Amino acid sequence: MITLALSKGRIFDEALSLLGAVGIQVLEDPDTSRKLILSTSRADLRIVLVRASDVPTYVQYGGADLGVVGKDTLLETGDAGLYQPLDLKIAKCRISVAVREGFDYAAAVRQGSRLTVATKYVAIAREFFAAKGVHVDLIKLYGSMELAPLTGLADAIVDLVSTGNTLKANHLVEVERIMDISARLVVNQAALKLKQAPLRALINAIAAAVKI
């Protein structure tokens, strides 16, 4: 049995098309069933649904043989011990700095003022601002980061941006792009040895589908 860890939402939806392209159908819909283990059209492949930030942990400790996880999560929570053979080029977005409309970010940075930055991505934000030589006070949030500059909690946020619609709807503007993000395939190193033939075949099939 091969176990693939996915998180609900964008990654699940887009991974579904990728799996479809290699002839694998998921037989249950996680939005209507409460199941956390989903069977597929391949008797030897099942999907486990976990939180995005738990995917690396599941794969690292062998709760899943492989998983799909955003580069943002890998950078933030660590990728030690994970084999990362493929950029799946799905769930594409960028991680950016955004501020309230009218906030003079360039001046704040130029003047060397201390910026308060709210984010779920404290490790990524810390490294980015340290490399720029900007002093920041980081506030860790778990969601709704867009609210932070609007309520005075922070001067800026570091968050994922896709279309930019969420920022626009909340009167925020993107002032710096930190990096482009996409989902990666991660594989448990021991599983790769123990289940070499089926895992290599699956990875190769997915690699071919990504190139199309």
* Whole-angstrom distance, CA of residue 179 vs CA of residue 9: 21
* Whole-angstrom distance, CA of residue 129 vs CA of residue 11: 28
* Whole-angstrom distance, CA of residue 97 vs CA of residue 80: 27
Q: Considering only residues 131, 165, 193, 212, which one is a binding residue for ligand AMP as defined by CB under 6 A?
A: 165
Would you count residue 162 as binding ligand AMP (CB under 6 A)?
yes
Tokens matching residue 149? 């500059």
Tokens matching residue 105? 């970010």
Least distance in angstroms from the C-beta of 51 to ligand AMP: 12
Least distance in angstroms from the C-beta of 49 to ligand AMP: 15
Would you count residue 93 as binding ligand AMP (CB under 6 A)?
yes
Q: Which of residues 20-79 bind ligand AMP (CB under 6 A)?
A: 70
Residue 101-140 contact track with ligand AMP, rule CB under 6 A, x = bound: ----------------------------------------
Tokens matching residue 125? 């934000």
- Please choose, out of 24-32, 74-82, 105-113, 161-169, the segment that lies near ligand AMP by the rule CB under 6 A: 161-169
Would you count residue 157 as binding ligand AMP (CB under 6 A)?
no
* Whole-angstrom distance, CA of residue 198 vs CA of residue 85: 15
Q: How many angstroms separate the most distant Cα atoms in the chain?
A: 61
Tokens matching residue 198? 């089926």
The neighbouring-strand residues paired with 87 are 184
- Binding-site size for ligand AMP (CB under 6 A) equals 12
State the residues that interact with ligand AMP by CB under 6 A: 10, 70, 91, 93, 159-166
